[in-house]
Amino acid sequence: MAPPETGPAGRWEGRLEAPPVPRILRVHGYRDPARVRRPILRAAEAAAALAPDVAAPVAVWRRFSIAALEPEALHLSSGVSFSGASFARTLRNCTEVAVFILTLGERLDEEISARMQDEPVEALFLDTAGWLSVERATRDLARHLDQVLGPELRTGVRLGPGYDYRGEEARRSWPLEEQHALFSLFVPGEPPVRLLESCAMTPKMSRSGLFGLLAAGTAATDENAGAFPR
């Protein structure tokens, strides 16, 4: 049975540019590219160039009204509820959410695995390039949603299972185990991602979560200003 339709649902496909080589190097502690040994630099350059050729960003999303917000709980109009994540704080002023599942596809995972034995440094940098590309694809998805939502709504904060968020007195976690509830909001087979028993996803370069949706004229607060947890 399909989940309740409380608003638009859609599928997005994107295209990525090569992630900046200096950023790939910084992740691994190389602050000055000019001082990086040539073999290391070549491996980073090769990974950056390959990433957009083997990544195929695609996401599915569904929109739901917020039925109720509690300090540690989010209740959706579909009947699904989530716990943790200081929802009352992080989704303050939001009236709806757009739940999404995004992936860069299987080929990037395969290219990383194929290099692990003979080209481990390039494999490591390609893995980093992949996660930087997931960040970029997530931002591109948010921009896409801003376009399709129309002039009355805009995306705010992004939340995801497995992350910690600031609460009124302490940080609170959105348990990774709630991936199951998130995936239940989609028709079986609809997401381009498979959820494992461990609540990890395959392909590896995938992300799930939700965007809080704000009225276009609503002033953003520190909690819903479009932050992206790292």
pLDDT, tens digit (0-9, with 9 covering 90-100), for 45-57: 999 999 999 999 9
| Interval 148-165 mean pLDDT | 91
Q: What is the mean pLDDT of the chain?
A: 90
CB count, 10 Å around CB of 211?
A: 28
Would the CA dihedral through 175, 179, 184, 185 be positive or negative? Answer: positive
Q: Which residue has the tokens 């509690």?
A: 70
Residue 137 token pair:
């694809």
29: left (phi over 0), alpha (psi -120 to 50) or beta: left
| Rounded Cα–Cα distance for residues 12 and 65 (Å) | 21
Peptide bond into 203 cis (omega under 30): yes
Select from 60, 57, 28 the least CA-distant residue to 44: 28
| C-alpha torsion angle, residues 27, 29, 34, 39 (rounded to 10) | -80
Highest-confidence segment of 5-19, 123-137, 159-173: 123-137
- Phi and psi torsions of 104, nearest 5°: -95, 0
Residue 63 in 3-state DSSP? strand
Tokens 């309740």, located at residue: 4
Please give the average per-residue pLDDT across 146-165, as a whole number: 92
As beta bridge partners, residue 74 has: 69, 82
Topology of 9-215 in CATH? NADH Oxidase (3.40.109)
Least confident of 58-67, 88-97, 160-169, 199-208: 160-169
> What Rg value do the Cα atoms of the chain yield, rounded?
19
Distance CA 214, CA 158 (A): 12
Q: Residue type at 58?
A: V
- pLDDT value of position 219: 59
Q: Where are the domains of the chain?
A: 9-215
CA–CA dist 171, 89 (Å, integer): 11
